[in-house]
Each structure stands twice: as C-alpha cells, then as structure tokens.
Structure 1
Amino acid sequence: MALSYKARRRWAMVILVVGLPLYIVAAVTVMTWLDRPPIWLELLVYLALGFVWALPFRFVFRGVGQPDPDAPGDEG
C-alpha cells in the first residue's frame, strides 16, 4: 500500500513530534536499568539506538523534503 505525498508528510510529522520523544524516553529508561556501563559503551549504545529508530520509517521519510510531485508545476 503506497502512501500519498501528503499522507507521508503527516505521518513523518507525527513520528517526529510524538514517536521520537517516546523512543528517547524508552531508550533512556532502558539505559538507567543497566548498571552504569563504561562511558564508551553507553555512547555506543545511544548512537546505535539513534540510528536504529529511523530504519522502520525510511519509506515514510523518503522524499518528504522534496516538492510535492503531484502539485501542478509552473508552466510557461
């Protein structure tokens, strides 16, 4: 099922405004459950989690920053 450009823009906004803060809270909560790992390991885990959250949403974010391909263009 392909999403329209406007639907992808709306979902991208919802993911960034609602989903990302929830993911950050969850990641920090999980890290606090661990018994304070070395700083290099903690940094590595945060970097990995920062990259991994966007992988399932690649199709939503792809092309969102581009002009609407279905909008009427300037002709003439």
Structure 2
Amino acid sequence: MPLSYKARRRWSLVILLIGLPAYIVIAVTIMNLFERPPFWVELLVYVALGIVWALPFKFIFRGIGKADPDATPRDGGE
C-alpha cells in the first residue's frame, strides 16, 4: 500500500532531522578510520555519499513540496 501524502511528509521530516545527521556522523566516522586520501579523492567520496543517501528515499521525497493531492479544493475566492 503506498504511503499517503501526509505520511510521506512526516517520514521526510524524520529522515531529514534524524536520519541525515546520523548518516553524516557515520560517514565521517568511517572516513576517519582510514588514512586521509588526497583532496580530490576525499571530495569525490563525500559527493558520492551525498548523492547515495537519498536514492533509497526517493519515493518518499517525491512531490513533498507540492500541494496535497488528496486535499479537497477550497471553494470561493478572496
């Protein structure tokens, strides 16, 4: 069953406020375990990790910035 718009909004907030900071801490901790690579390699790794974190959550973030498609349209003008 697909998630409703409101559920996707809630999950996107949880992911952005809790999951993303945790992912950043884990990524930096793992990178610190190894000897520091050259700058361009380190930059490439962080850019790749910055893109990879969002791929599993693409279906949750899709359409979040738009109006609720399930909401009833409001009648009348101003």
Range into which the TM-score falls when normalised by the shorter chain? over 0.9
Where does structure 1 differ by over 2 angstroms across 4 or more consecutive aligned residues?
Answer: none
Deviation at 1:75, TM superposition (A): 3.5
Q: Say how many residue pairs are matched.
A: 76
Deviation digits for residues 28-70 of structure 1 (CA, Å, limit 9, x no counterpart): 0011011010000000000000000000000000001100011
Deviation at 1:72, TM superposition (A): 1.1
Show structure 1 runs of 5+ residues with no match. Answer: none
1:8 aligns with 2:8: yes
Show structure 2 runs of 5+ residues with no match. Answer: none
Q: Hey, what's the Cα distance between the residues in 1 that align with 2:75 and 2:17?
A: 36
Q: Which residue of 2 aligns with 1:25?
A: 25
When normalised by structure 1's length, the TM-score is: 0.96
Q: Secondary structure at the match of 1:68?
A: coil
Which residue identity does 2:21 align to in structure 1? P
Q: Percent identity?
A: 67
Aligned-CA RMSD value:
0.8
